[in-house]
Amino acid sequence: MPAVDPARLTSLGADHAILDVRAEAEFSAGHLAGAGNLPVAEFAARRTELPPREAALVVVAATGGEAEAAAAALAALGYRRVDWLDAALAAVPGGLAERTPAVRLWRPAPFLMEVLPHIRAGGAGARRALDLAAGAGREAVFLAMNGFDVEALDDDPEILARAEALAARCGVRLRTQARDLERRDPGLGEGCYDLITVFRFLHRPLFPHIERALAPGGWLVYETFRRGQERFGRPTHPRFLLDAGELSSAFPNLAVERYAESDPEGGPITARLLARRPVSR
């Protein structure tokens, strides 16, 4: 965890995200331009608001000691490219001059960011979206920030409360509902959604319900783990792992627009699909 001085801080460049770990009130009173804000005491509760683990970060705080401690906490969470400001933030020229909102450091699944322009270009109807197994809500909130009316389902009401809190911090709203998506009838309805997203979740009996829930012309964005992922961590049970090529043929009534499988060194081993329900004539 390299320490940087104020002069070095200004030369790190745009490849380093700035994470200010002071309390929100202190941050709002003045901060560095381009900084995000997540108090170190809230790392555990708001972990999904941190940048991806591969991101390069520089941590700033009221004192150098506080920045170093926060950098150590990030290292314990698996971050390997973390610098920290070895000085009081007040010692940095302009360090307390900015009063704009915090920069968003978290990001949704890269595949969703990749395909959203294509979905927009192809039309998304009334923009009614459903995020299944939504978890802490990054994908759902991202869609809401891009103009979708989003319903987020998950079986854990506590994690859905985190999704609602994230939405509020980002100035958008979600409709959330705790629901067991593995029950016989998940209650998705028919022709209700212009976009359905599923990330990091697999329950094969849900596939036909997803097809029926899409409106004519509606889109499906699906990405989850394949066999081989068990070498790197969860999930490990075949019930939760796709076979090679399985996802590409899992929705026979949808037209496949994009399909890819990834097997990077070190994982994760995934398959990702963009498909569309044909528009009724």
Mind listing the pLDDT tens digit for each residue in 22-61? 999 999 999 999 999 999 999 988 988 999 888 899 999 9
pLDDT score of 126: 63
- Measured in degrees and rounded to the nearest 5, phi and psi for residue 112 equal -65, -45
Intra-chain end-to-end CA distance of the chain, in Å: 60
Looking at the chain, the domain(s) classified CATH 3.40.50.150 span 110-276
Q: CA 234 to CA 87: how far, in whole Å?
A: 40
Q: Does this model's pTM top 0.85?
A: yes
Mind listing the pLDDT tens digit for each residue in 179-225? 999 988 899 999 999 999 999 999 999 999 999 999 999 999 999 98
Q: Give the tokens for residue 255.
A: 């037209």
64 in Cβ contact with 85 (< 8 Å): yes
**In sequence order, what E strands does 119-179 have?**
128-132, 149-154, 175-178
**CA distances (Å), 264 to each of 230, 247, 252, 268, in order?**
14, 18, 28, 7
Average pLDDT, the chain: 91
Helix%, strand%, coil% for the chain, nearest 5: 30, 25, 45
Domain 3-91 has CATH 3.30.460.80: no
Looking at the chain, the domain(s) classified CATH 3.40.250.10 span 3-91
> Which residues make beta-bridge pairs with 83?
58
Say which CATH superfamily domain 110-276 falls into: Vaccinia Virus protein VP39 (3.40.50.150)
**CA distances (Å), 274 to each of 158, 255, 257, in order?**
30, 9, 5
